[in-house]
Structure formats: structure tokens, C-alpha cells
Amino acid sequence: MAKEAAFRPGDEYIRIKVDRPREGVGRITLAMPQTRNAQDPRMLYEIDGAFTELGVDSEVKVVVLAAEGPDFSSGHDIKDLAGDNLKIPDLPVTTQSTDRGKTGIEAHMSFELDAFMGLCLRWRDFEKPTIAQVQGRAIAGGLMLVWPCDLVVATESASFRDPVVAFGANGHEYFVHTWELGHRAAKEFLFTGDAITAQEAKSLGMVNHVVAESELESFTLDLATRIATRPSIGLSMAKRSVNMSLDLQGQAQAVKNAFYLHQLCHAQHMAEHGLLVQPDGPDVVRKEIKRDTASF
């Protein structure tokens, strides 16, 4: 099978959809329900391209990030973790200055610096308000789409988890767990890999609203429409003020520090196992998710 071409700005979207469902509202929809919206690099760069497209559209004042299918996102596509771990996709570098001539763990770190942490930080500082519209499960990399958004609306049956400690790492690559959950809840969330419900997430301050599944789209669009009536400069400065407050608490520096600890974990597993992660980690996580599915 021929290798799929890398996404470049201006290319046709094949992993996502972009529309403008209400006046002043743009929407990006993950459109791979057959894989539970598992994220390969193509999808991530398409999302970034869509944010760029909507960011320069003066008619769009708020952006909704939604998903097709039963689950918001099952996270990074991990099917290749047992294969050629260090083969870096041919993708554009949009967020960091990265030398594609690197090899080994250094090359993989450069890729994750751009495609994972770099894109999350870029979306977190996107000038316009953003709302994550979440149904079903958001797992690990799925949280890396939810957490950069300004607001989160979730269905009553939605659940959230980061089981990456089972892979032998400190958590996924956008490490804002402490701010999203509080330090003690974040530790339990990471240590156990257990899912939390939408109501639990709301009680911790991670989710703004929990609604019935039948109301998810209309509630989210109504909220976005209300926000879109405010002046753009007021919205952007309010967003910047809150984000700068988080940075004064050390959030941005903590994210970067945790990212490099994550790379240390990859290097350890490559040295010990020849893989980026603990060999049994993916199977452990799959079994736990299958076991817990009936509970949500």
C-alpha cells in the first residue's frame, strides 16, 4: 500500500470535518468513528490546520471541537508501538524548530515535541475561545485534545482517563493534570489509570457542564453562540489573562519539565526492551478499558 501523503496547510481534510454551524461559531469534528477517533499524526496536523483556518476567519469568534461516533477519542493510535518505534513520520514542523536529521530517541523526542506537546500548547493559546464537546470516552491522547480547550461540555455517560503510567511513563505528553484535577486527585488518576465520570470531572473543575447526550450538540452550540456575541478583543484578552495567570503559577514550565521526563521514560524502555513503552503496557490498558466499559 502506498504511503499516505503528509498533511500540508491547504490540503483537503480526510480525518476531520470543518463547518460553521452558527453565526460566529466554527466547528472542528473528528471524523474517524471507526477507530474511535484514534489520533495518528495526520489527524493532529489536520486539527492544527483547521484551527489556523478558523483563526484567520474574522466571521468566526468561537471554535467548537467535537467528534463523531460513540467516543470522543481513544487517544494516540498505538498500533505501531511494537513495530518501527523510531521511524518519524514525514510531517511539517509547525510549532517548534526541529532538526529532521536527528536519529534515535533524539529524533523521536523532536517529533513528540512538535506533534504532541507543541500542538497542545499552540491550541491552548489559540486566540479565540474554544469549547470541547465530549461524548463517550476521552483516553490519554484524547485528553490532549480536551484540555487545551477553554471550556468543556460533556455527556452524562462521558468518561476520562490517562492510563499511560501502565506504559511505564509519567502520563501523556501535555501534563496539566495538576491544574485540571488538583494534586491529590491527579496522583490517584495517574497511579491507578482509573476513569473518572463526567460528574466527577465537573466536581473537580475539569468540566463546565454535564448534559444529556441528546442535548450535547445543541447545548454546546447555544453556549458558543452566547459567547460569540461578546467583543473579540474582550474575549481574547480575558483568555490571555487567565492563561497568563496559570503560567504565573508555573503551568507552562511544569508541562515542559514533565515532557522531558516522559522522554526519559521512552529512552529507558528503548534501552531495556527495544520499545518506546513497557511491553505489556498496551495490553494491560486494553484489558482495563474493556473491563470498565460496562460501567459507563
| Nearest Cα residue to 132 out of 113, 155, 112 | 155
pLDDT (tens digit per residue) in 103-144: 788 888 888 999 999 999 999 999 999 999 999 999 999 999
Whether 208 has a pLDDT exceeding 90, the answer reads: yes
The whole-number pLDDT of residue 82 equals 46
The whole-number pLDDT of residue 86 equals 56
Whether 242 has a pLDDT exceeding 90, the answer reads: yes
DSSP class of residue 27? E
Instruction: Evaluate if pTM is beyond 0.85.
Output: yes
pLDDT (tens digit per residue) in 62-104: 999 999 999 999 999 877 554 445 556 666 666 665 556 777 8
Whether 292 has a pLDDT exceeding 80, the answer reads: no
Strand partners of residue 253: none
Whether 191 has a pLDDT exceeding 80, the answer reads: yes
Distance CA 32, CA 41 (A): 13
Distance CA 99, CA 115 (A): 14
Residue bearing the bigger pLDDT, 83 or 33: 33
Sign of the alpha-carbon torsion through 86, 79, 273, 292:
positive
Residue 245 CB burial class (10 angstroms; 0-12, 13-18, ≥19): exposed
Residue 231 CB burial class (10 angstroms; 0-12, 13-18, ≥19): exposed
